[in-house]
């Protein structure tokens, strides 16, 4: 189940989002709500989330400042993980090239459009999680038969196995 942080000061809107998430076919489950920038920063310090929904107009550090902090302090955890939700198009140009942003959605386009964007990002996140599990299993098995991971050949072997699995070309192997 994916963990989602919603940073928005409109509680009615966030509860509507959570209701839509609960009706989704995806397991979007665990949602945390921060109604201002300081709360959001505390949550980011204490937890790791899969997806962040960020409104740009929030009290105590606006969304642009929060995004700047995320990209400087938490880039490893949140690259392509933030969906900006705002009705202020003029701010989109200031943040478009931020490496943490996966997508930009206008609030006025409706909750269903936000849900679509979250579901697309959730698909990517779930694929990443599956790939990490497979990679760890391969490494574990190669360790059991004493492959040395200091050799680049062993790393190439892991990458080759991953490519075969990703391409599902098992029928081409003799």
Backbone angles phi, psi at 92, to 5 degrees: -60, -35
- Segments making up each domain of the chain, as ranges: 4-128, 130-172
Q: 4-128, superfamily in CATH? A: Response regulator (3.40.50.2300)
Binning pLDDT at 50, 70 and 90, where does residue 172 land?
A: very low
Compute the mean pLDDT over every residue in the chain, rounded to the nearest whole number.
Answer: 84
Q: Which residue would you say has higher pLDDT here, 145 or 38?
A: 38
Neighbouring C-alpha atoms within 13 Å toward the C-beta of 9: 11
Q: What pLDDT score was predicted for residue 55?
A: 93
Give the separation between CA 19 and CA 96, rounded to whole angstroms: 28
Please write the tens of the pLDDT for every residue from 113-123. 898 999 899 88
Q: What pLDDT score was predicted for residue 29?
A: 67
Look at residue 169 and give its three-state secondary structure.
coil
Q: What pLDDT score was predicted for residue 25?
A: 67
Q: What pLDDT score was predicted for residue 122?
A: 87
Look at residue 119 and give its three-state secondary structure.
helix
The tokens for 25 are: 């076919």
Which range (36-45, 60-69, 73-82, 129-138) has the least confidence?
Answer: 129-138
């Amino acid at each position: 189940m994916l963990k989602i942080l919603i940073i928005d000061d409109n509680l009615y809107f966030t509860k509507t989002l959570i209701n839509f998430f609960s009706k989704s076919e995806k397991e979007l489950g665990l949602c945390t709500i921060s109604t201002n920038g300081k709360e959001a920063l505390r949550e980011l310090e204490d937890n790791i989330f899969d997806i962040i929904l960020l409104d740009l107009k929030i009290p105590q550090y606006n969304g642009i400042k929060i995004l700047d902090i995320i990209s400087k302090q938490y880039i490893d955890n949140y690259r392509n993980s933030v969906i900006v939700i705002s009705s202020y198009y003029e701010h989109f140009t200031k943040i478009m090239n931020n490496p943490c942003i996966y997508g930009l959605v206008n609030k006025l386009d409706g909750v269903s459009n936000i849900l679509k964007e979250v579901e697309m990002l959730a698909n990517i996140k779930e694929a990443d999680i599956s790939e990490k599990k497979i990679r760890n299993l391969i490494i574990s098995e190669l360790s059991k038969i004493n492959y040395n991971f200091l050799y680049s050949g062993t790393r190439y072997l892991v990458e080759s196995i991953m490519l075969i699995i990703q391409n599902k070309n098992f029928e081409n192997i003799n």
